[in-house]
């Protein structure tokens, strides 16, 4: 089995077709004179535009308007008079049209590839795509005809450019596999838009797999099963059928507002741990992000992410969510989330110890680096800050004072930032009991039932002997939830839930009755949660 990144959900079974890169070698092309080179270039640009327009029209039908904009962007980019004049200057300097195009695009490629912003870096792959197509046209080469592959094909390439993806006929392609690219790459976005399962970043797949190999692709896990057995084929065929059936029944809720039968307007958000996951929330119809678990940015590395690294992650999420609300939870470490390089002392009772906001208030530099990054990213969207494991009013006051301090520093440094609302996670019995007092300081609440259940029931969720007590339907937990919602309402602040219980179909009717405003769940549970809300009073 080969392992990559699951970038588009579903299971695909089919025969491998390796898409080789076309060789774009122009070393044998001879320079005649500047005028004819320029004429060749201008004819190639014309052909590029009409070819790309045609592909954009096709893409509108197969993937949608928004996706076709990527190709329309290519036309605009190539039509840029500055780019054309640079290419003509290069021809005047004695270069053939191919070399002129290659060098000018290389210059733009280097420019985009060196930018730290993830979305800008994506533009580098657009530039490469335009360059390759233009060179192919100039050299008179035909591209691989992806549109002609037979039904049941699994396409494998180093990467799929938008122009390659636009030729895909979704009824013939069971899955796609690439060697590079992540969940925010164009290949991933387009595969999701077309509903084709995709496993990306499957290393050396074009070499390991041969044309005609039978494969199974798991687009959830990013796994590729080579040489599947008959039983595996049966198993995955059934899985795909079940997945499609379920998708069909939930799809009607994709663009539907979240309104209860009695007309109450609610919101269903997604929980994420990495910036790339935001795409998953959009893909699943989320109306915002109710919990960004930022501690994941600090894990699997040997030093804390810098302010710039964090700024990039937070601003990528804000931009991906396109003005929709994004609630960023500050570092929630300690307990079961240990980060070796932070030298957290070993404690007798780590779950009751120096963790989350307690640790952050005692490690101001680390905390302020995160807060500054969030405030700077806030100019790109609707960001809010949420403080975890609060047990006292003093903690939120101190956190707000530090946020103000960071804003003042950014102001003095002349950096752009936005002061954002600060909310509190209600995930300890203390916070629920004093939720009337916290509501006066907090801009919003989000109930973290995962911890609230454990702390209220005094139960370790890892201990099988007491796991029956770890139950959000216990009256004490229900009362804590109800009390929190009521106190938020009394003070007029919004209240959400980001613990797993927000997706519990049996609990949802109670949460609606008490007045919960926002339900933040795992992205794959968004549509089911909306369906349950819409079916209740
Ligand atoms: C919670 O405690 O409910 C919560 C959402 O936080 P986490 O699961 O990250 O502890
Ligand atoms: Mg928690």
Integer Cα distance of 435 and 441 in angstroms: 10
Q: What band does 323 get if pLDDT is binned at 50, 70 and 90?
A: very high
Q: From the CB of 329, is ligand 1 less than 6 Å away?
A: no
- Looking at residue 260, what DSSP letter applies? -
How high is the pLDDT of residue 170? 86
Q: What band does 182 get if pLDDT is binned at 50, 70 and 90?
A: confident
Closest CA to 91 of 36, 50, 53: 36
Which atom of ligand 1 is closest in space to residue 291's alpha carbon? 5
- Looking at residue 304, what DSSP letter applies? P
- Separation in Å, CA 294 to CA 226, 283, 366: 36, 21, 13
pTM for this entry:
0.66
Atom 9 of ligand 1, nearest CA residue: 293
- Per-residue pLDDT averaged across 158-181, rounded? 86
Please say if 186 is a catalytic residue: yes
Residue 530 has pLDDT above 70, yes or no: yes
Please say if 354 is a catalytic residue: no
How high is the pLDDT of residue 148? 87
How high is the pLDDT of residue 88? 94
pLDDT in tens, 413-460: 999 999 999 999 999 999 999 999 999 999 999 999 999 999 999 998
CA of 374 to the centre of ligand 1 (A): 20
List every span in the chain annotated with CATH 1.10.274.10: 21-139
Asked if CATH classification 1.10.274.10 holds for the domain at 21-139, the reply, yes or no, is yes
Q: What band does 56 get if pLDDT is binned at 50, 70 and 90?
A: confident
Q: From the CB of 450, is ligand 1 less than 6 Å away?
A: yes
Residue 13 β-bridge partners: 216
CA of 379 to the centre of ligand 2 (A): 27
List every span in the chain annotated with CATH 3.50.30.10: 152-242
How high is the pLDDT of residue 111? 87
SS3 of the chain: helix, strand, coil, percent, to 5: 50, 15, 35
CA of 452 to the centre of ligand 2 (A): 8
CA of 449 to the centre of ligand 2 (A): 8
Q: From the CB of 293, is ligand 1 less than 6 Å away?
A: yes
Residue 188 near residue 195 (C-beta atoms within 8 A): no
How high is the pLDDT of residue 213? 97
CA of 260 to the centre of ligand 2 (A): 28
Query: Is the model more confident about 236 or about 337?
Result: 236
Residue 189 has pLDDT above 80, yes or no: no
Query: Is the model more confident about 466 or about 266?
Result: 266
Q: Considering the chain, what percentage of its residues have pLDDT values greater than 70? A: 98
Q: Within 10 A of 171 (CB to CB), how many other CB atoms are there?
A: 8
Which atom of ligand 1 is closest in space to residue 501's alpha carbon? 3
Closest CA to 529 of 248, 268, 277: 268
Residue 198 near residue 176 (C-beta atoms within 8 A): yes
Integer Cα distance of 101 and 115 in angstroms: 22
Q: What band does 184 get if pLDDT is binned at 50, 70 and 90?
A: low
Question: Which residues does 395 contact at the CB level (< 8 Å), separation at least 6?
Answer: 357, 358, 361, 387
Please state, rounded to an integer, the average pLDDT across all residues of the chain.
92
CA of 478 to the centre of ligand 1 (A): 17
Integer Cα distance of 57 and 64 in angstroms: 9
List every span in the chain annotated with CATH 3.20.20.60: 256-534
CA of 390 to the centre of ligand 1 (A): 12
Task: Determine which one of 74, 186, 360, 472 is catalytic.
Answer: 186
Mutate to test the pocket of ligand 1, among 290, 445, 448, 504 (most ligand atoms within 8 A of CB): 448
Q: What band does 287 get if pLDDT is binned at 50, 70 and 90?
A: very high
Q: What band does 115 get if pLDDT is binned at 50, 70 and 90?
A: confident
Task: List the Cα angle 169/174/177 in 5-degree steps.
Answer: 100
Give the CATH number of domain 152-242; options: 2.70.98.10, 3.30.465.10, 3.40.50.300, 3.50.30.10.
3.50.30.10
Q: Considering the chain, what percentage of its residues have pLDDT values greater than 90? A: 69
Atom 7 of ligand 1, nearest CA residue: 450
- Per-residue pLDDT averaged across 340-369, rounded? 91
Q: From the CB of 70, is ligand 1 less than 6 Å away?
A: no
Task: State the CATH class of domain 256-534.
Answer: alpha beta
Give the largest CA-CA distance in the chain: 86
Residue 499 near residue 448 (C-beta atoms within 8 A): yes
Q: What band does 308 get if pLDDT is binned at 50, 70 and 90?
A: very high
Atom 1 of ligand 1, nearest CA residue: 448
Residue 328 β-bridge partners: 292, 385
Ligand nearest to the CA of 497: 1
Helix 97-113 vs helix 34-62: crossing angle, to nearest 10: 50
Atom 8 of ligand 1, nearest CA residue: 450
Q: Which two tokens stand for residue 131?
A: 């360059």
Integer Cα distance of 122 and 114 in angstroms: 11
Mutate to test the pocket of ligand 1, among 270, 427, 454, 495 (most ligand atoms within 8 A of CB): 427
Residues with beta carbon < 5 A to ion ligand 2? 427, 448, 451
Atom 3 of ligand 1, nearest CA residue: 448
Mutate to test the pocket of ligand 1, among 388, 461, 507, 522 (most ligand atoms within 8 A of CB): 388
Residue 386 near residue 423 (C-beta atoms within 8 A): yes
Q: Which two tokens stand for residue 373?
A: 């990054």
Closest CA to 403 of 432, 433, 440, 441: 441
Residue 176 β-bridge partners: 155, 198
Residue 394 has pLDDT above 70, yes or no: yes
CA of 533 to the centre of ligand 1 (A): 22
Q: Which two tokens stand for residue 53?
A: 């327009």
Q: From the CB of 461, is ligand 1 less than 6 Å away?
A: no
Q: What band does 117 get if pLDDT is binned at 50, 70 and 90?
A: low
Q: Within 10 A of 111 (CB to CB), how many other CB atoms are there?
A: 13
Task: List the Cα angle 283/284/285 in 5-degree steps.
Answer: 95
Ligand nearest to the CA of 337: 1
Integer Cα distance of 37 and 126 in angstroms: 25
């Amino acid at each position: 089995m080969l392992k990559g990144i699951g970038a588009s959900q579903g299971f695909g079974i089919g025969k491998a077709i390796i898409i080789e890169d076309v060789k774009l070698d122009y070393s044998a092309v001879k320079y005649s004179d500047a005028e004819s080179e320029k004429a060749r270039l201008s004819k190639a640009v014309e052909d590029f535009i009409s070819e790309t327009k045609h592909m954009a029209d096709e893409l509108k039908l197969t993937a949608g308007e928004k996706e076709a904009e990527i190709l329309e962007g290519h036309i605009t980019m190539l039509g840029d008079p500055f780019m054309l004049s640079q290419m003509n200057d290069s021809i005047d300097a004695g270069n053939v049209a191919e070399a002129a195009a290659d060098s000018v695009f290389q210059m733009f490629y280097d420019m985009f590839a060196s930018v730290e912003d993830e979305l800008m870096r994506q533009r580098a792959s657009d530039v490469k795509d335009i360059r390759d197509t233009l060179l192919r046209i100039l050299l008179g080469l035909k591209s691989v005809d992806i549109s002609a592959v037979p039904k049941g094909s699994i396409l494998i390439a180093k990467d799929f450019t938008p122009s390659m993806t636009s030729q895909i006929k979704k009824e013939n392609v069971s899955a796609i596999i690439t060697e590079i690219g992540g969940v925010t790459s164009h290949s991933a976005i387009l595969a999701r838009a077309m509903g084709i399962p995709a496993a990306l970043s499957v290393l050396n797949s074009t070499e390991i797999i041969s044309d005609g190999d039978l494969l199974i692709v798991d687009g959830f896990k990013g796994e590729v099963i080579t040489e599947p057995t008959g039983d595996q084929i049966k198993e995955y065929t059934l899985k795909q059928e079940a997945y499609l059936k379920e998708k069909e029944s939930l799809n009607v809720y994709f663009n539907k507002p979240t309104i209860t039968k009695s007309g109450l307007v609610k919101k269903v958000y997604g929980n994420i741990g990495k910036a790339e996951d935001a795409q998953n929330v959009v893909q699943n119809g989320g109306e915002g992000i109710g919990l960004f678990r930022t501690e994941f940015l600090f894990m699997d590395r040997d030093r804390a992410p810098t302010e710039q690294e964090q700024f990039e992650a937070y601003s990528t999420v804000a931009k991906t969510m396109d003005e929709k609300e994004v609630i960023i939870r500050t570092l929630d470490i300690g307990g079961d989330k240990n980060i070796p390089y932070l030298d957290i002392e070993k404690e007798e009772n780590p779950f009751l110890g120096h963790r989350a906001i307690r640790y952050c208030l005692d490690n101001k530099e680390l905390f302020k680096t995160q807060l500054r990054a969030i405030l700077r990213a806030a100019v790109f969207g609707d960001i809010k800050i949420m403080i975890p494991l609060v047990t006292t009013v003093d903690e939120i006051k101190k956190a707000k004072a530090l946020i103000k301090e960071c804003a003042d520093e950014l102001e003095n440094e002349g950096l752009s930032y936005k002061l954002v609302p600060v909310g509190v996670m209600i995930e300890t019995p203390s916070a629920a009991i004093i939720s009337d007092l916290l509501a006066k300081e907090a801009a919003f609440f989000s109930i973290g039932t995962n911890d609230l259940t454990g702390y209220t029931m005094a139960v370790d969720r890892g201990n099988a002997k007491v796991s029956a007590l770890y139950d959000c339907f216990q009256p004490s937990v229900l009362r804590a939830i109800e009390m929190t919602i009521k106190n938020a309402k009394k003070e007029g602040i919004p209240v959400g839930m980001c613990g797993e219980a927000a997706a519990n179909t049996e609990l949802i009717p109670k949460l609606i009755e008490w007045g919960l405003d926002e339900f933040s769940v795992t992205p794959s549970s968004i549509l089911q949660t909306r369906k349950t809300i819409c079916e209740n009073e």
